[in-house]
Amino acid sequence: MERELLLAVKDKNYNKERVENEIEVMKKLLPYIEAYSTFKENNEILDLHTHKLIKNNIQLKDFFESGVQDHSRYHIICKN
């Protein structure tokens, strides 16, 4: 799945090479940031029908892989 990433550059000393390096670093970091294990550690999923947290690993992985949809019965609740 493709994603758009906005890289805000505040420093006037950024040249094309430095921006390209930043993009390469982000390409290496994003798979780890968006991994299922990171998702599971940083979020809680609430089933709105039962009003309980989803702790079943299979359900969580299915939710993660299908993505968030407006008509989903689950909602992410961030721990931070």
For the segment 33-71, what is each residue's pLDDT rounded down to a tens digit? 778 888 778 778 787 778 888 888 887 787 777 766 666
* Best mean pLDDT range from 7-11, 17-21, 29-33, 35-39: 17-21
Q: What is the mean pLDDT of the chain?
A: 76
Token pair of 19, please? 């921006």
Share of the chain above pLDDT 70, in %: 78
SS3 category, 46: strand
Residue 9 in this model has a pLDDT that exceeds 80? no
SS3 category, 61: helix
39 CA to centre of own chain: 6
Average pLDDT, integer, range 5-33: 80
Write down the pLDDT at residue 80: 53
> Residue 57 and residue 63: Cα distance in Å, rounded?
10
> Residue 36 and residue 32: Cα distance in Å, rounded?
9
